[in-house]
Structure 1
Amino acid sequence: MQVKISTLAAALAVGLITSFTAAAVQAKPQAPVEIVGTVRAQQATLKIAFESAAQQVNVRVYGVDGLTVIGTESPVIGGTFAAGQVMTLLVNYKPGAGTSNLAVQVDGQFDGKRRSTISSFTVQDGQATRSSADSSTAPAISVDGRGRRIAILPAQTK
């Protein structure tokens, strides 16, 4: 009888571990949109590309760590967008001291399901954060005609 109980306990433990592992790997589905932007001293240009048709779309922009959005924080309420459509937003803001962030949230009905996506853009004293200490060699971040983020690198000098 002792063997049957321990075998049952082991089977239950393996089942629980498997179910916990599956739950940890499975993430909440994101809204099928791509959010890219260019951050300047007090204004950001954001491009939101819809990869599938969407209804009842809400777009919210807000500041984190001291950044304050100037104007409306909800530029789109209840919007409808076709697959492939790209929306451009100009967001004015006052950066916080040091490092702050501009966050963008898009939620809506995509393929009959409510989904949401959030992107954040880091601002350092009013400028986009540089990954290199030497700003002359740091890439300039821009957006191409299809709304994809690209890095423009300076030419190498000898």
Structure 2
Amino acid sequence: MQVTISTLAAALAAGLIASLTAASVQAKPHAPVEIAGTVQARQATLKIAFDSAAQQVNVRVYGVDGLTVIGTRSPVIGATFAAGQVMTLIVNYTPGAGTSNLAVQVDGQFDGKRRSRISTFSVQGGRAAGAGAPDSTAPTMSVDGRGRRIAILPAQTR
């Protein structure tokens, strides 16, 4: 009886793995760009790396949850980039109360197909008026080379 249950479990597991693999292959492809950035109190430095050549590229920045972008919300319209090219953007904003987000959308023609990628960066809002100096122990939010969000904490002083 154990052999039958083990065989059944193995067959189910193989079927589950096959269905997960098929689902990931059928997912909508995103633009082959890496979006990384460093977020500070009122400014973000974004680096957009193009993994393949792109034409008709548009870059848009949006504020979410109370964040307001200062200046143009479309800093790039209809541009062309070579594979391996990296673009740096400085985005100024006013943070919302509490935690808000800066969203970055890159879309364009990659390998003859229109594709898009969106990344968001969390921003800790400003203090209420008269609340004192900024918190020097607050983390700086950033994104590593693989697109994972990381918090950079200041060193402790004694």
Count residues in correspondence.
128
Q: Please tell me whether the aligned partners of residues 142 and 152 of structure 1 are also in contact (alpha carbons under 8 angstroms).
A: no
What's the CA shift for 1:27? 1.2
Please state whether the residue corresponding to 1:73 is helix, strand or coil. Answer: coil
Structure-1 residue corresponding to 2:71? 71
SS of 1:122's partner is: strand
Please give the alpha-carbon distance, in whole angstroms, between the structure 2 residues aligned to 1:74 and 1:29: 23
**Rounded Cα–Cα distance in structure 2 between residues aligned with 1:140 and 1:29:** 27
2:70 matches 1:83:
no
Partner of 1:55: 55
- Once the two structures are aligned, what percentage of the paired residues are identical? 79
Moved over 2 A (4+): 20-26, 135-144, 148-157
Alignment of 1:1-158 (within 5 A): 24-25=23-24, 26-126=26-126, 141=142
Alpha-carbon spacing, 1:50–1:154, altered in 2? closer, same or farther (3 Å): same
In the alignment, the residues of structure 2 paired with residue 44 and residue 90 of structure 1 have an alpha-carbon distance, to the nearest angstrom, of: 6
CA distance in 2, matches of 1:79, 1:23: 35
Letter in 1 for 2:107: D
1:130-155 deviations in Å (ceiling 9; x for gaps): xxxxx8696874778xxx98876778
TM (normalized to structure 2)?
0.68
For structure 1, the residue ranges without an aligned partner over 5 or more in a row are 1-19, 128-134
Report the CA distance between 1:60 and its aligned residue. Answer: 0.2
- Counterpart of 1:104 in 2: which secondary structure? strand
CA RMSD of superposed structures (Å): 3.3
Q: Say if 1:46 and 1:89, in contact at 8 Å, map to a contact too.
A: yes
1:82 corresponds to which letter in structure 2?
A
In 1, distance between residues paired with 2:65 and 2:137? Answer: 27
Q: What letter corresponds to residue 101 of structure 2 in structure 1?
A: N
Report if aligned partners of 1:36, 1:149 keep a CA contact under 8 Å in 2.
Answer: no
Give the letter aligned to residue 34 of structure 1: E
Amino acid at match of 2:27: A
Q: Distance in 2 between matches of 1:54 and 1:108?
A: 6
Classify 1:139/1:57 alpha carbon distance in 2 versus 1 (closer, same or farther; 3 Å). closer
Report how far residue 124 of structure 1 moved: 1.3
Q: Check the 8 A contact 2:141/2:149 in 1, yes or no.
A: no
Over 3 Å counting, the alpha-carbon distance change for 1:27 and 1:125 in structure 2 is same
Distance of 1:111 and 1:86 partners within structure 2:
18
TM-score normalised per structure 1? 0.68
Residues 51 and 69 (structure 1 numbering): CA distance in 2 closer, same or farther, change over 3 Å?
Answer: same
Distance 2:56 2:74 in 1: 13
